[in-house]
Amino acid sequence: MAIAQRRGVSSRPPGKNPRRLALEILVRVERDKAYANALLDARLRRQQLSPRDRALATELCYGVLRHRGTIDFLLATVLDRPLDAVEVEVRNLLRLGAYQFFYLTRVPSYAAVDETVRLARRGAGAFVNAILRALGRRGPLREEELPAEPVSRWSVRYSHPLWLVKRWSKQLGEDACALMQANNRIPPVGIGWNPLRGRLEAFEEGLTRAGVEWQASPWLPHAYRVRHAGSLLTGALSKRGALWVMDEAAALVVRLVDPQPGEHILDVCTGGGGKATLAAMLMKNRGEIRALDVSPRALGRLEEARRRLGTTIVRPVRGDAREAGTRFRGWADRVLVDAPCTGLGTVRRRPEIRWHREPADIPRLAELQGAILEGVADCVRSGGCLVYAVCSREPEEGEEVIAKFLAGHAEFSRERHSPAFFAGDRAGLLTEGDVATWPHRHDTDGFLAVRLRRQ
């Protein structure tokens, strides 16, 4: 027991060890509910790792987060105490070792043990070594070990928290399994051409020269799915603003807004401004876009993106969307509400969300979403439109928010769209006229976007 009380991360300097980097990020994600992508991007910029080590650190971080539920089930079979009773640093050391055992097959078992034990602080190495060797002897998960009850079995097999599996199984039935499997696959990176920074032909030639795997999006013109995009995102095309980065489902939301040159657009809860800058490109940089957010940090990211992409009509504005009606009453031809939400439609891209979220988050955020819609309603001019979007397919955050808003606002009506709106809608992007995407059906993030017209 004395060993367990001294467990932790080694005090040796970080150096250029991809496993240590992965461990530090996993600890921050669990302890502080941080986001892995932001931490990883920041650390990789500071540390001069080889391309191979960068890839390993990335795979370890995201791999452990995707498969954490299954890994924890396996660890519980060889531990003499609940996993939650193990200190957070050592808990994630064990997960790293287990991931290398069972998912990173190119790493020999002895190397997975040795490299993981080296990261442990003095006094913890023996414990980590013993648990990982016991795990190696017991072998991978066997079908007969899974819980008999179907939903519990799916939770372990597909590595999602039980409450979420119960919710999705009620909503989707056995199709929930396909959704969870899609969430555990590595998604492509969505990018697109910026017409303000050069010709389309030159852009596609640049993609080919960058040596990445790319293919045209089936849903959007001048958008692409890219594999192994690391060098592209730090290369010449990105630096000169020739490309934007966004999942196709998020870009479809901007298409639903349908911004036109010369119009006034209000984008509330803009975050880093990806949708606002894409709207500016569609408007040929003519008109005016006010991008509203409460966070100075988010607006700083938007200002940097605005300069890089050349979208000069975007104007960052600090403010609360719930109070937007007092500042922009009747100003906007179109308003986009990209509402704060659980983000449960983006689990494949941000796997830690499944472990961060709790059932109580859904009604709490739904209340905020309703308040934001109320706050922006008066911003829409007569005849203008309001698009409400969430990267979640939970009914409380989508359909129910819209239904409640419409019940109190007879001046708005839901605007349905024909399949022709999205190039024939070959695979059901539209559900009763709304944009409604699923990871397992469209290979995009899960989004709901609804367009309302002010009469």
The per-residue b/e assignment along 229-259, b for 16 or more CB within 10 angstroms, e otherwise, is beebbebebbeebbbbbbbbbbbbbbbbbeb
Q: Which of 155, 201, 202 is nearest to 180 (CA)?
A: 155
Please identify which residue in the block is written with the tokens 């239904």: 403
Residue with tokens 């979208």: 311
3-class DSSP state of 11: coil
| 190 contacts 248 by C-beta, under 8 angstroms | yes
**CA–CA–CA angle 63, 438, 305 (5° rounding):** 70
265 exposed, middle or buried (CB, 10 Å; 0-12, 13-18, 19+)?
Answer: buried
Which residue out of 269, 341, 385, 391 is catalytically annotated?
A: 391
Distance of CA 384 to the CA centre of its chain: 30
> Is there a catalytic annotation at residue 391?
yes
Residues in the chain: 455
DSSP H helices, 33-174, are: 36-46, 51-76, 88-102, 109-117, 125-138, 150-157, 162-172
Distance in angstroms (rounded) separating the CA atoms of residues 414 and 13: 58
Q: What is the DSSP string of 53-82?
A: HHHHHHHHHHHHHHHHHHHHHHHHTT-SS-
- State the number of CA atoms in the 13 A half-sphere of 446 facing the CB: 25
Give helix 51-76 / helix 18-32 axis angle, nearest 10°.
Answer: 50
Of 162, 164, 210, the residue nearest 189 (C-alpha):
210
CA distances for 49 relative to 136, 258, 289, 392, angstroms = 29, 42, 40, 35
How far does CA 269 lie from the centroid of its chain? 16
Active site residues: 391
